[in-house]
Amino acid sequence: MVIAKKQINKENLLAQGVQLLMNQGYHGTGLKEILDAVQVPKGSFYNYFPSKESYAAEVIQHYIEPFIQQFDGYLQQPGLDGLSALESYFNELIFGLEAAEFKGGCLLGNLMGEIGDTSELCRKSLQLAVYRYQSLLAVGLKKGQTEGRIRLDKSPEDMAALLVNAWQGAMLRMKIEQSVEPLKKCIKDLLGDYFRL
């Protein structure tokens, strides 16, 4: 029972961390604010995380997991080819961002810009999250290659890296333009044209 409550508290802290770090950034989010939101005493916080920095590093992994599961769900759908899985996944993301009125963007991109070169622990966590995400996108691209829908003269790993890089840039453009058009153009240009066989 105690272990279950401890796990629930940790999950709540991580979930709240995603929201706070997304909306306010690492430096704009205080420890007291995190604790108050989850109603966990300060002393208890240190039972879960040795520091705010290690907390942020775990929040990064907590954040990326649903995206990995979401795309994997598309890849596992019977009858859905790799290219269609990628298109469906990114279209769902675009729909969600439009519904959220372009708020937040991507926690990874936000933190890369804010603390990616100042916190070694968070930098490594960001690298791991991007690697995990990019690797799964490469699986979808490889599937599309074997199905004859995606070009063969580029490696799935290189195309996945380009997709992640272009998507992150499009997310920043989305924020300043208050429009999902940069995202739609990114996906149309890559999945609808450049990556196609």
Q: Which residues pair with 150 in a beta bridge?
A: 196
- List, in order of start, the domains of the chain with CATH numbers: 53-194 (1.10.357.10)
- 62-86: per-residue pLDDT in tens? 999 999 999 999 999 999 999 999 9
- 85-139: per-residue pLDDT in tens? 999 999 999 999 999 888 878 999 999 999 999 999 999 999 999 999 999 999 9
Q: Is 56 within 8 Å of 49 (Cβ atoms)?
A: no
Q: Is 157 within 8 Å of 138 (Cβ atoms)?
A: yes
- CA dihedral sign, ordered 158, 159, 160, 164: positive
CA–CA separation, 94 and 194 (whole Å)? 19
Q: Is 11 within 8 Å of 40 (Cβ atoms)?
A: no
Inform me whether the pLDDT recorded for 15 exceeds 80.
Answer: yes
Other C-beta atoms within 10 Å of 175: how many?
17
Residue 1: per-residue pLDDT:
45
Please report, as a single letter, which amino acid is at residue 59.
Answer: V
- 30-43: per-residue pLDDT in tens? 988 998 888 888 88
What's the angle, vertex CA 23, arms to CA 21 and CA 25, rounded to 5?
45
